[in-house]
Amino acid sequence: MELTRPVFFVGFMGAGKTSVARRLARTCGVASVDMDTYIERREGKKVKEIFAEGGEEGFRAIETDVLRELGAKPDPLLISCGGGVVVTPANHDVFREAGFVVYLEVTADEAASRISDTSTRPLFQNLEAARARCEERLPLYEAVANVRVSTAGKSVPAIAREVQRIL
Ligand code: S3P
């Protein structure tokens, strides 16, 4: 796999974006960056605190800033994005211009079964709301995706191998 530009992983919370990007990074010798972790380091606060202080709007502004910063990096990078990155229209331009987007598909129910700790995810507090949010975002994930990979019933290494074959 010879990457010449960033690859972005998008999909709903619990899709496995961070785990798959990390796994691929290890097997392919390319660096991976988790956007939420990057944001937390940059801001010196947890995502949960950023939401508590500035609301979703405050978080989205930081997220767009960071996406632009990472998208402008010349090195090949595997970037796992937060699940809500697609709700900001300006981010779609970054995806189009900066790299290749892999959409990891998951249903809200499957995501809920994978997420053991919802305390770090302010927007995954109850299943009904998560289902609605997931449904609402489907066309947005599809709009930015260069490829989509179903994650249903697959392990992280299996998903990573599938992505590697595509890249
Ligand atoms: C969010 C997803 C989270 C995080 C924030 C908002 C969302 O990332 O960015 O809590 O709106 O779906 P993960 O998808 O990595 O959980």
- How do residues 86-120 score in pLDDT, each as one tens digit? 999 999 999 999 889 999 999 989 988 888 778 88
**CATH code assigned to 7-166:** 3.40.50.300
Atom 16 of ligand 1, residue of closest alpha carbon: 13
| CB contact at 8 A, 11 and 106 | yes
**pTM as predicted:** 0.95
Domain ranges of the chain: 7-166
Q: With a cut of 0.95, is the ipTM above it? A: yes
Query: What do you get for the CA distance between the two ends of the chain, in Å?
Result: 7
Model confidence over 30-43: pLDDT tens digits? 999 999 999 999 99
- The finding on whether 16 has its CB within 6 A of some atom of ligand 1 is no
